[in-house]
Structure 1
Amino acid sequence: MKIRRPRRPRQFRVADSAQQIVGGFLLAGPFVVTEEVWTLAGSMSAIQAVLTICVVSAIGYGALYTADTTRDPDAEQEVAGVPVRFISLLLVSFGSVLILALLFNAPATLIQEPGTTGDVAWTTLKAVSIGSVFSIVGAATADSVFSK
């Protein structure tokens, strides 16, 4: 006898994004204002930043669809073949870290050798990729725990 896997509703709601936002901001905060994160970001190469973004995406997808066995990515709403819930999770993860970094004026305060505006923006994006590793865990956990 085969046990059927329960499926969650296909509809992605605003409440789901709100839950992700709370979780994302909760775990992003401590890493945005940590000098070590900004020092690491300053020394990262482009390939390391891209790989970090890939790790964030893998963690998010795994948390949503592998760790939570009641959720099926094929049964959810999609945009260009990507589940809307996963897109929302990535936007919340990277967005919450970026918003907090700018709100707290972290780039101007924590970048050791600012250089040009482009250098500051590049270092900020790398710092956001680092902070998103933690933010996505909070966002995915909140989404899985509080979803119906």
Structure 2
Amino acid sequence: MKFRRPNRFRLADSAQQIVGGFLLAGPFVVTEEVWVLAADMTIFHALATICVVAGIGYAALYKADTTRDIDVEQEIAGVPARFISLLCVSFGSVLILAMLFDAPDTFLDIEPLSVEGLRITFNAISVGSVFSIVGAATADTIFSK
């Protein structure tokens, strides 16, 4: 059996993900329909959406890209570092843009820092992350060759 050294996850890999994540997150952060949809979502919907985001990210990194071998990826607590970074970038880019653009204050008719305002913002971030993760995973795959 041949020992294969883990692929080193570099800062450049995260930078590529960030570019893709922010690129596709922006339009959804500033779309009123996303915030209206988020207001009607339950916690179940948000958690299911987060699972979809993770599934899309995993599939894009390790199933769609047949050149990447998950068995030789650098890991953190048994989870590939690239996948952890991808999730952080996808949710983080939506959160950062929402705060920079003051989206919760703009789109919510209630106090953004109230429990209900935070719930809706959480839901909106989960929705925006569906698109952000596609951009982040695509950029990671295209530019990591």
The answer on whether the counterparts of 1:39 and 1:112 sit within 8 Å (CA) in structure 2 is no
Query: Which of 69, 81, 90 is the equivalent residue of 1:72?
Result: 69
Percent identical among aligned pairs is: 69
Aligned partner (choices 88, 93, 100) of residue 90 of structure 2: 93
C-alpha distance in structure 2 between counterparts of 1:8 and 1:33, whole Å:
43
Paired residues for 1:1-148 under 5 Å: 10-114=7-111, 117-148=114-145
- CA distances 1:67-93 after superposition (whole Å, capped 9, x unpaired): 000001111111111100000000000
CA–CA distance in structure 1, aligned partners of residues 30 and 56 of structure 2: 23
Tell me by how many angstroms 1:94 deviates: 0.1
How far, CA to CA, are the matches of 2:69 and 2:93 in structure 1?
26
Q: Pairwise CA RMSD of aligned residues?
A: 1.6
Name structure 1 gaps, 5 residues minimum.
1-6
- One-letter code aligned to 1:33: V
User: Closer, same or farther in 2 for the Cα pair 1:142/1:9, shift >3 Å?
Assistant: farther
What CA distance in whole angstroms lies between the structure 2 residues aligned with 1:144 and 1:9?
17
1:119 Cα deviation from its structure 2 partner = 1.3
C-alpha distance in structure 2 between counterparts of 1:105 and 1:20, whole Å = 23
Q: Distance in 1 between matches of 2:93 and 2:14?
A: 12
Secondary structure at 2:109 match in 1: coil
Aligned equivalents of 1:106 and 1:116: distance in 2?
A: 12
Distance 2:116 2:58 in 1: 31
Q: If the length of structure 1 is used for normalisation, what is the TM-score?
A: 0.91
Q: Distance in 2 between matches of 1:60 and 1:122?
A: 24
Q: TM-score, normalised by structure 2?
A: 0.93
Structure 2 unpaired stretches of 5+? none
1:112 Cα deviation after fit? 3.4
Query: Is the 1:8–1:71 contact (alpha carbons within 8 Å) kept by the matching residues of 2?
Result: no
